[in-house]
DNA sequence: GCCTTATTTTGAATTAGTCAAAATAAGGGA
DNA sequence: TCCCTTATTTTGACTAATTCAAAATAAGGC
């Protein structure tokens, strides 16, 4: 499978590929952690090399989301799909193209740019996090919204380049 | 303006704000470079503190794009707009909401998540880069697509979690 | 003008990832 | 099956963006 793409078949590559197949949207670190279990001396660099190679030849797709520090990888390629991510726990799920066909959105004004692609990411709160957050609210009576944020810069708030979605 | 938001009015804050107003989508480093010109001892930490504070109180909006390492900031807030970014030089322009109103997209299946927002980023190649690339192509005859990527991991290719856009 | 406390400065740490040279192993040909 | 070339992995160092924490400074209410 890798052979005819000009890549040598190695244990790290096979294990990494298998992991991503069973764990869609895994990031380099998750893959590394998994490989480290079975192989003794794998390093993060190895994993980065692997995902770069596999992405280049088209076996993997690199999924880079806004607000998300690390890149994620998946084997579901070829079909154009979007993603929805929980703003609380970071969990990612696939979302089929909203409009349908692959070319799905076009802006009014491209500012003279040749449009290459449109990236759509939905953000939300998953059921588990919703539940957990409710529990927390019960404990923390009412959040002091206009808190005069003392010394500590408390805001880990995920503000983003996003638009309100219809519900 | 900052005062009644509970923030003290300081020189770094005013300068940073002014810079972002005149340079939409500036990142922390650009702001820092600008401030460093007039103020002598400003540090990057100061800038990060400022953009965090201003983002928290809603004076700035943090724009985080896929494939983009650093966050960008703008004063155009409240209206829901998207962005188009040149994949070659990173230049960012505003794009009005494609669908119109603020709630603009909804996925078929939210996988049980409460939808919070939808982030849409267009990617393209700006006129200048298009021109520059053409010049390069003239020099580099035809790109050997199936290059047996020797030792060097050559791919700085910006693969992304995106969908092909209609042209 | 003083004092409290928010803000900035100083200094260090973290995370995701890249770069390059040396060691190792894949797999095509003998 | 063994060998050799060269791709891949390992080792080790480094960058960029950002955060954390303690000490120094300055805003602005009194
Ligand atoms: Mn996916
Ligand atoms: Mn904008
Ligand atoms: Zn969640
Ligand atoms: Zn450009």
Q: In the predicted model, is pLDDT for residue B167 greater than 60?
A: no
Residue B87 maps to a domain: yes
Which residue range(s) make up the domain with A44? Answer: 3-124
H or E element at residue B47: helix B44-56
Considering the entire predicted model, what is its pTM?
A: 0.83
Residue A134 maps to a domain: no
The nucleotide lying nearest B13 (C-alpha to C1') is C7
Q: In the predicted model, is pLDDT for residue B149 greater than 70?
A: no
Q: Where do we find the tokens 């090399």? A: A49
Residue A158 maps to a domain: no
Residues B16, B4 contacting (CB under 8 angstroms): no
| Residue B157 pLDDT class (50, 70, 90 cuts) | very low
Residues A16, A50 contacting (CB under 8 angstroms): yes
Mean of the per-residue pLDDT values for chain A? 82
Residue A131 maps to a domain: no
The nucleotide lying nearest B156 (C-alpha to C1') is C18
Residue B131 maps to a domain: no
Instruction: Provide, in whole angstroms, the distance separating residue A11's CA from nucleotide C29's C1'.
Output: 24
pLDDT average, residue stretch A33-49: 95
* Whether A121 and B118 lie within 8 Å, measured CB to CB: yes
Residue B154 maps to a domain: no
Share of chain B above pLDDT 70, in %: 77
CB-based contacts of B17, cutoff 8 Å, min separation 6 = B2, B54, B59, B60, B75
Identify how many contiguous H helices and E strands chain A contains and give both numbers: 4, 7
Question: How many folded domains does chain A comprise?
Answer: 1
Supply the pLDDT for residue B108.
85
- pLDDT by residue (tens digit) across A60-111? 999 999 999 999 999 999 888 999 999 999 999 999 876 665 457 888 899 9
Supply the pLDDT for residue A133.
82
Q: What is the CATH number of the domain that holds B8?
A: 1.10.10.10
Residue A149 maps to a domain: no
- pLDDT by residue (tens digit) across B15-74? 999 999 999 999 999 999 999 999 999 999 999 999 999 999 999 999 999 999 999 999
* Whether B161 and A106 lie within 8 Å, measured CB to CB: no
Residues B122, B83 contacting (CB under 8 angstroms): yes
Strand D closer than 7 Å to the CB of A9?
no
Q: Which residues touch strand C (CB under 7 A)?
A: A 3, 8-11, 27-29, 44-45, 48, 52, 69-71, 148-151; B 6-8, 10, 12-13, 39, 41-43, 45-46, 49-50, 53, 151-153, 156
């Amino acid at each position: 499978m890798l052979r005819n793409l000009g890549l040598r078949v190695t244990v790290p590559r096979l294990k990494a590929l298998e992991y991503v197949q069973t764990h869609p949207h895994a990031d380099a670190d998750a893959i590394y952690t998994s490989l480290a279990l079975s192989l003794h001396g794998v390093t993060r660099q190895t994993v980065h090399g692997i995902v770069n190679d596999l992405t280049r030849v088209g076996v993997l797709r690199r999924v880079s989301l806004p607000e998300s520090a690390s890149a994620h990888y998946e084997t579901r390629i070829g079909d154009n799909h979007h993603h929805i991510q929980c703003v609380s726990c970071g969990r990612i799920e696939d979302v089929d193209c909203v409009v349908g066909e692959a070319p799905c959105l076009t802006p009014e004004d491209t500012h003279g740019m040749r449009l290459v692609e449109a990236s759509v990411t939905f953000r939300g709160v998953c059921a588990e996090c919703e539940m957990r957050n409710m529990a927390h609210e019960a404990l923390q009576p009412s959040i002091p919204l206009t808190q005069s944020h003392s010394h500590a810069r408390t805001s880990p708030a995920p503000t983003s380049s996003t638009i309100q979605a219809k519900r």
